[in-house]
Amino acid sequence: MLETDRVRDLTSWDSDWAGLRVVVAGIGTSGFSAADTLIELGAAVVVVDAGATAGNEAKADTLRIVGAREVLLGAEHAEALPLVDGEQAELVVTSPGWRPTQPLLAEAAAAGIPVWGDVELAWRVRIREGRPTAEWLTITGTNGKTTTVGLTEAMLLAGGKRAVAAGNVGTPILDVIRDPQGYDVLAVELSSFQLHWAHSISPLASVCLNIAEDHVDWHGSYEAYLAAKASVYERTRVACVYNVEQRETEAMVEEADVVEGCRAVGFTTGMPSISMMGVVEDLLVDRAFIEQRKDSAAELASVSELGEVVPRHLVANALAAAALVRAAGLPASAVRDGIRAYRPGEHRIQVVANEDGVLWINDSKATNPHAASASLASFQSVVWIAGGLSKGVSYDDLVIRHAGRLRAVVLVGQDPAPLQGALARHAPDVPVSLHPSLHTGHGHDGGGSSDPVTGDALMQWVVSEAAGMARDGDTVLLAPAAASMDQFSSYAHRGAAFMAAVRARGDQGTTAKES
């Protein structure tokens, strides 16, 4: 990336943005926000998106009204870098989902034109005369990002800070930056895509919660994905927070180029050593941000305050969030009060029902093997509902690790073969049920169908099948280890369909008992 002197000097809202020729790639939530911000700054903006949908047309009309030079919709426009006011662009700002190999972005890179993401742009314009400049706490990881960001936000608010969760969750970060009142601290969730397009962020504290194979299709290799995640630690000023139980995250910290004086702070669900957060006798404790850390620890909260079902990875997320806010100078009481105030989002280890000795759990957010593994590890005997879009990952390690806790498996997904094959190899004695319309010829009954059942109707069958397999003391766990878009509109739709089917079944049981 070869920045001109002008682009390099764009380090605040009050820098010289006027007339800067910018192409914005994508008109989704982050792309629209980036274009709107750049237009407000006075830049000359052309917006490109391959989708000529009604929703995109409406957004395009809005951007034209506020001053976009052009908005180009349609696949043909995404194949080459457009001119801006008849000249080559000086900067491209891309939506995070656009791959580096996408033709428009590849052309920009080949021409030496810098490519930023919306998070990089937000960092560049965060300083604005007359408004407070928020500190950033940056959070990434293969799993647990949204929970940790939510806990961090709750702790910051409990500590009296004006704070908000932003980035890959909640409000678009550029909308947060433009808030007239400003903020004290931002809890910024960063995906690997956003990190790939960020080059100069220097957070107060940062964390990579964990790392496992994911999004290899986007990054091109696991090594590239790993490098993107590791970049969260670059230029950190006060504390790099890492997972003691995953050596890869500690290695990221060791190799990061940080600001002089920055500390490494670990978190563990076991007994903490010096400069760590951890657990002692069901208490979350701090041995990092107290003066007497060599021989004592500060109590933060009890594990039970995290909820009805407290899996190990939720404890880890809470400790990571605690480390971040403690690095920002908050007292131990803010951690406790934040945990008490926190309300987890749906579809994350969510208790749906506990009837007739069977616990029903919705973890539709477990969209990869690493997340599903954390869910499975939380329960002893499981009827597992799994499958969907695999994103090219392997399921062998997941099945090997948890075969002993599987009572039965109900498979979803239009291509169940990857998970079905792993179960056949490593858990051959575990009953596996597959909807007849999704039969793939791996020894299950059913003749296949050209019109497979999807969505709510499929989930009703799945829940009925799981109920027939479950026994007293079992957990029926929706932790798909895969994306959802082959049979549902989103992981949220998948989880909502599961909850509705479980509750409908419970209502039917109540009616039957009453009659």
Which residue's structure tokens are 């702070």? 265
d(CA 165, CA 152): 8
Tell me the one-letter amino acid at 180.
P
Name the H helices within 184-241. 192-196, 216-219, 222-230
Torsion of CA 83, 1, 221, 236, to 10 degrees: -120
Confirm if 287 and 278 have CB atoms less than 8 A apart: yes
Classified as helix, coil or strand, 380 is coil
Q: How far is CA 363 from the centre of its chain?
A: 14
Confirm if 79 and 103 have CB atoms less than 8 A apart: yes
Confirm if 194 and 171 have CB atoms less than 8 A apart: no
Residue 142 marked in a binding site: yes
- Of 177, 212, 208, 193, nearest in space to 98 by CA: 193
- Of 414, 425, 313, 426, nearest in space to 372 by CA: 313
Residue 365 marked in a binding site: no
Residue 430 DSSP symbol: S
Pairing mode of beta strands 44-49, 70-73:
parallel
Q: How far is CA 261 from the centre of its chain?
A: 29
Classified as helix, coil or strand, 78 is helix
Task: Provide the 10 A C-beta neighbour count for residue 119.
Answer: 30
Classified as helix, coil or strand, 148 is helix
Q: Which two three-digit tokens encode residue 253?
A: 């910290």
Q: Which two three-digit tokens encode residue 504?
A: 């409908």
Classified as helix, coil or strand, 206 is strand
Residue 146 marked in a binding site: yes
d(CA 276, CA 139): 17
Confirm if 104 and 79 have CB atoms less than 8 A apart: yes
Is the C-alpha dihedral spanning 470, 474, 476, 482 positive or negative? negative
Which residue's structure tokens are 């995906």? 191
Q: Which two three-digit tokens encode residue 392?
A: 């090219």
- Of 165, 220, 170, nearest in space to 193 by CA: 220
Provide DSSP, 450-479: SS---HHHHHHHHHHHHHHH--TT-EEEE-
Strands laid side by side in the 382-386 sheet: 350-355, 358-362, 475-478, 382-386, 406-411, 432-434
Residues making up the annotated binding site for ATP are: 141-147
Residues making up the annotated binding site are: 141-147
